Amino acid sequence: MTSLTHDASLILRIVSDGDRERLARIALAMIPANADEPMPSPEGGEAESRLRVLLTHDPHCLDAGRFRAVLNATAEQGLDVLIPGDDGWPISSVDTRGELWPPGLSDLRANQPVALWARGDITLLTRPMAIRVVLTGSRAASHYGERVASDITHDLAKSGYILTTGGQFGIDAAAHRAAASLDAPSIAVLPAGLDRLHPTAHGQLFDSVIDTGGLLLTEAAPGTPATRAAILRRGRIMAALARTTVIVEAAERSATLPIAQQAIALWRVVGAVPGPVTSATSAGCHQLLKDGDTHLITNANDIIDLIDRPKS
């Protein structure tokens, strides 16, 4: 068995001298399992022992200087680090009829995030799951798609629902802007560290999310750039956070389609907005509707009806 290096020993010492579970999870979140999969989430209280095993097996998997830099950046930027068991960690919600809706991130089991970095109002994550609605779609959205996303978000926000989406161009941006126009909070789930916002052109958009009482959320430590794999991985977080996911526009091979598929796998309610049959940016939505697990959505009332519908 490989002996611990000075760096590995220093990391474990930092962990043992503080909030052990939280610090160990921060360290684990910085060690990707591989390019396509997130680090499997340990059970409660097991993070430190998991970290020790990894550092013993591969003492160079995490640099102590980088670990300290992340801890310093987290503190300097005023970020919250959420872990399972925290009040802000989405677990489950009970509606007014006393029914237990599907648990939040815990539904992802070993694939739930090891930790989450947050800037903004973390209490949005403790609201009933039915209040959060994922609305996402194509980055290369048409005017039609952006208009529909804006109208649906506007009406949902007026009814008290919380938009949950990414931060990409197109549908995501149109939805955030519609929420901000009403001073309504929204949640942006991002693929990079909160000091490396992605896309960089959306700095003002992300500022408006915070200014209107919203939340920026990521499983990436400060200093971590966005990658295509991270963009795809964050989709599982979006799907798990809300009871309802709606795809407004998606091409046949759109990166937003896996979000709908993940939501279906988690037994969430999924909807899609149809478009012109001649539109390539709606081909993915039409395929979802054809597959039979997706509801046709034309306006916010269709979504609210699905949310209010008793579970069969």
| SS3 label, residue 289 | helix
Stretch among 37-46, 54-63, 76-85, 130-139 having the lowest mean pLDDT:
37-46
Q: How is 265-281 classified by DSSP, letter by letter?
A: HTT-EEEE----TT-GG
Ordered by start, the domain boundaries in the chain are 6-76, 105-308
Question: Region 141-145: what's the mean pLDDT?
Answer: 96
User: Across-strand partners of 218?
Assistant: 117, 190
What is residue 34's predicted lDDT score, i.e. its pLDDT?
53
The band of 89, judged by pLDDT with boundaries at 50, 70 and 90, is confident
Question: Tell me: the pLDDT tens digits for 1-19?
Answer: 456 888 999 999 999 999 9
Mean pLDDT lowest for which of 69-73, 102-106, 250-254? 102-106
Q: Per residue in 99-134, pLDDT tens? A: 433 458 888 888 999 999 999 999 999 888 899 999
Closest alpha carbon to 274 in 260, 293, 295, 255: 295
Distance CA 130, CA 87 (A): 18
Whether residue 45 has pLDDT greater than 90: no
Digit-coded pLDDT (tens) for 163-195: 999 999 999 999 999 999 999 999 999 999 999
| Structure-token pair, residue 69 | 């830099």
pLDDT digits (tens, 9 = 90+) for 230-244: 999 999 999 999 999
Per-residue confidence (pLDDT) for residue 120, from 0 to 100 = 97
Q: How far apart are CA 239 and CA 170, in angstroms?
A: 19
For residue 94, the model assigns a pLDDT of 45
Burial of 33 (0-12, 13-18, 19+ CB in 10 A): exposed
Provide CATH code, domain 105-308.
3.40.50.450
